[in-house]
Amino acid sequence: MSTVGAEKGVTTGRSRRCGWFDAALLKRSAQVNGLSGLCITKLDVLDGLDELLLCTGYELDGERIDLLPMGADDIARCQPIYETLPGWSDSTVGVTDYAKLPEGARKYLERIAEVTGVPIAMVSTSPDRDHTILMQHPYVA
């Protein structure tokens, strides 16, 4: 994914580390920051993957939790719990209508919104700024 998404450090040029989407972490961030909508970028880099993993919680000392703990010591002991979702083979590049996204992409986005408790407001489907799906106006509450 780092190659497809051109994930390089601006200053150093080093490849960035990429991982699966951590919806449980984002759920904590949404609570702390009062998020009203999510902007999901680079959806197109997931095109062609057979399956996707989504972190929906953690195991901490044998107990399942659905939010990242607040303390660093607890976070260090957490093991992510991943849910496997089907991928999609059709291209999302340039799609500007949510209904025209592959079913797997729509289900992936819907599951992110469900786990985080925050609706998807915007989705980008390529680096081109015109390739954006606006689900809700960013300035209307």
Whether residue 77 is annotated as binding a ligand: the answer is no
3-state class (DSSP) for residue 59:
strand
Q: Is 90 annotated as a binding residue?
A: no
Q: Is 126 annotated as a binding residue?
A: yes
**Nearest by Cα to 27 from 51, 49, 58, 53:** 58
Residue 10 among known ligand-binding residues: yes
13 in a labelled binding site: yes
Check whether 41 is labelled as a binding-site residue. Answer: no
Is 44 assigned a ligand-binding role in the annotation? yes
Q: Consult the annotation and say whether 12 binds a ligand.
A: yes
125 known ligand binder: yes
DSSP 16-35: PP---EEHHHHHHHHHHHT-
The alpha carbon of residue 6 and the mean position of all alpha carbons in its chain are separated, in whole angstroms, by 17
Q: Is 115 annotated to bind ligand?
A: no
**Would the annotation count 42 as a binding residue?**
yes
Question: Which residues are part of a known binding site for GTP?
Answer: 16, 42-44, 124-126
Question: Which residues are part of a known binding site?
Answer: 10-16, 42-44, 124-126
Question: Which residues are part of a known binding site for substrate?
Answer: 10-16
